[in-house]
Chains A and B, each alone.
Chain A
């Protein structure tokens, strides 16, 4: 392959853009020299009247970092606020090196950031930062999830009383459950309202993230309610889901009346299936975004 063939020029230029440090270091990097050696590289780009080749390449190099950091900042304003501008930017630079974009859409760029945080040593308030990042990612995903019309009041009242125990409630597509060690939603709320964030105090928190009139909402749940919703999202019948909630009788009663009503009026479900569950689906996770996040975060 000629040194200036199109595939080689593209791989070389991309390597020079993606490699951090100054342009000379990027040109001498393993990824760049695999395509074009340092000596030949000096002739690839022409100088302009005002700029040397490296300065011209730096325009693309600077824009790359700026663009990706900007996109991530939009997705993680809370984390940015928590860590402060400098530390956040440093973190993101490490992140985009470890997870360069592999998608045509910037929407997916931050998908691995919460888990990446767990690998960073010495991160201040690490568990809170992790919860906050997971919550912000959930907000982004729910913002863009498909729109599925929620159950109508008529559909709910049409279910015969005897059919409820075996009924399976299918959550809307824009629905996700999240369990956290900290009430990270309060931090984001304060930020949105331009108030001082509340002190960061440990408190087990369970949320349902969903959309109402296209706005992303967070509904606080009790642990039993979270367990019931998790079981429903995984495709279990209402009867089995309630067993999963491990509740005493008064709690169960409250769940079945007030809580269930609030879930349906918030539009958390799109369908009630009263026919038996298809065999092959048993044991598989539900198709909503919910099942993936409905796990207790590991410490």
Chain B
């Protein structure tokens, strides 16, 4: 099933990371596409931008940011959006994504993907902002579900209902992070299948996969390891219900060689091919 904007299934990509710059420039490895961390390139005119230009010339790229602060009650930062828009034009990015979160208020930046309370008020607030941002960027914003570690007692929506309603009413795209669904389901004790089954397939333009750190009492979304089997199985379910969607592997801590990261991304292929467990078995797992 294609998404409503007919954004392409770019295949299996990886995040562009500084430690891999020399390898990529020297070898032009056969990667389907790269995801660019927007903030790493918005305020530099040096080597990072030079490398990005080389990459964007050869590979399809999408922009992925962490600082848009879509859910914040501070004013929208149009200076940030202007730079982001220019970067998207420069790299011919297929789409631009950020997270369903806030990163700070009162002019301060906490540099974290802070959780939204899932209330009617915050839903309406976020819908209004996403509309303004999409209009400014002249493209539908794509929003990712973050990993979260707290739940607000004020919340009267489930995360999956909240994000679905937000996407429909603000007419935005979704970046479904399958690992984040798993992490949050562990931290808050919900069934990840309920989440996946509720998400409107025609709005999902990208998938994230990543490793995490299980602390026993909770899971941290560290992007520091291989993807665990349970997350791969969730990915299979996403494929079965939504079809082929551009899939990206994130690795941000203890980053191994380019080949290791790339082959981890390519593992996703097998979960698109083999039938795997039935829904009932997957539920029971």
Tell me which residues across on chain B come within 8 A of A4, comparing CB atoms.
117, 119, 152-154
Residues of B within 8 A of A107 (CB): 43-44
Is B85 in contact with chain A by the CB < 8 A criterion?
no
Question: Which residue of chain A has its CB nearest to the CB of B126?
Answer: A6
B260 in the interface (beta carbon within 8 A): no
Task: Tell me which residues from 28 to 53 in chain A have a Cβ below 8 Å from any Cβ of chain B.
Answer: 43-46, 48-51, 53
B108 and chain A: residue at smallest CB distance: A100
Cβ–Cβ < 8 Å partners of B216 in chain A: 50
One of B45-53, B172-180, B198-206 contacting the partner: B45-53
Contact code string A202-219 (vs B, CB < 8 Å = 1, else 0): 000000000100110000
Whether B82 sits at the interface, judged by CB under 8 Å, is no
B46 partner residues in chain A, CB cutoff 8 A: 142-145, 147, 174, 211, 214
- Please determine whether B153 and A5 come into contact, CB atoms closer than 8 angstroms: no
**A window 217-252: CB within 8 A of B:** none
> Which residues in window 219-261 of B have CB below 8 A to A?
220
Stretch with Cβ within 8 A of A (4 or more), from B4-12, B99-107, B271-279: B99-107
Q: Which of A6, A173, A211, A214 has the most CB of B within 10 A?
A: A6
Contact (Cβ within 8 A) B106 A44: no
Q: Which of A59-67, A116-124, A279-287 contacts B (4 or more CB under 8 A)?
A: A59-67
Minimal beta-carbon separation of A9 from chain B (angstroms)? 6
- Most interface-central of B44, B77, B122 (chain A CB within 10 A): B44
Nearest-Cβ distance from residue A15 to partner chain B, whole angstroms: 9
Tell me whether B111 is interfacial, beta carbon within 8 Å: yes
Let me know if A103 is at the binding interface, CB within 8 A.
yes
8 Å CB contacts to A: which residues of B108-129? 108-112, 114, 117, 119, 121-122, 125
Given A6-B73, A6-B125, A174-B46, A101 and B109 touching (CB < 8 A)? Answer: yes
Asked if A101 and B108 make an inter-chain contact with CB atoms under 8 angstroms apart, the answer reads: yes
**Given A45-B152, A68-B111, A145-B45, A11-B119 contact (CB < 8 Å):** no
Contacting pair B102 A105 (CB below 8 A): no
Write the B59-75 contact mask toward A (1 if CB under 8 angstroms, else 0): 00000000101001100
In the complex the two chains form, is A14's CB within 8 Å of B152's CB?
Answer: no
Q: When each residue 175-199 of chain B gets 1 if its CB lies under 8 Å from chain A and 0 otherwise, what string results?
A: 0000000000001110000000000
Secondary structure at the B interface, as helix, strand, loop or mixed, is loop
Task: List, in ascending order, chain A residues with CB within 8 A of B119's CB.
Answer: 4, 6
Chain B residues whose C-beta falls within 8 Å of the C-beta of A146 in the assembled complex = 45
Q: Report Cα–Cα, A213/B42, bound state, in Å.
A: 20
CA distance A142 to B24 in the complex (A): 24
Per the 8 Å Cβ criterion, residues 274-295 of A in contact with B are none
Are B114's CB and A60's CB within 8 A? yes
List A contacts of B49 (CB < 8 A): 147
B181 to chain A, nearest CB (A): 16
Q: Which residues of A sit under 8 angstroms from B105, Cβ to Cβ?
A: 7, 10-11, 14
A92 close to chain B: CB less than 8 A: no
Contact B111 A101 (CB under 8 A): yes
- Please determine whether B43 and A18 come into contact, CB atoms closer than 8 angstroms: no
B112 touches A44 (CB 8 A): no
Cβ-closest chain B residue relative to A43? B153
B23 within 8 A of A: no
Whether A106 pairs with B218 at a CB distance below 8 angstroms is no
The distance in angstroms between the C-alpha atoms of A106 and B66, with both chains bound, is 11
Question: A104 and B77 in contact (CB under 8 A), knowing A6-B125, A48-B218?
Answer: yes
> For chain A residues 9-23, which have a beta carbon within 8 Å of chain B?
9-11, 13-14, 17-18
Bound Cα distance A5, B117 (Å): 9
Whether B77 lies near A60 (C-beta < 8 A) is no
Closest CB-CB distance, B242 to chain A, in whole Å? 29
Could you list some 8 contacts between A and B, CB below 8 A?
Answer: A10-B105, A44-B153, A46-B150, A67-B112, A106-B39, A144-B43, A144-B48, A145-B46
With A14-B110, A53-B150 given, name 7 new contacts (CB 8 A).
A7-B73, A55-B217, A60-B112, A60-B150, A145-B46, A174-B45, A211-B46
Q: Nearest 10 pairs between A and B by C-beta?
A: A146-B45, A214-B47, A104-B67, A50-B217, A4-B154, A144-B44, A7-B73, A59-B149, A101-B109, A56-B150
Chain A interface (Cβ < 8 Å from any Cβ of B): 4-7, 9-11, 13-14, 17-18, 43-46, 48-51, 53, 55-57, 59-60, 63-64, 67-68, 71, 100-107, 142-147, 173-174, 211, 214-215
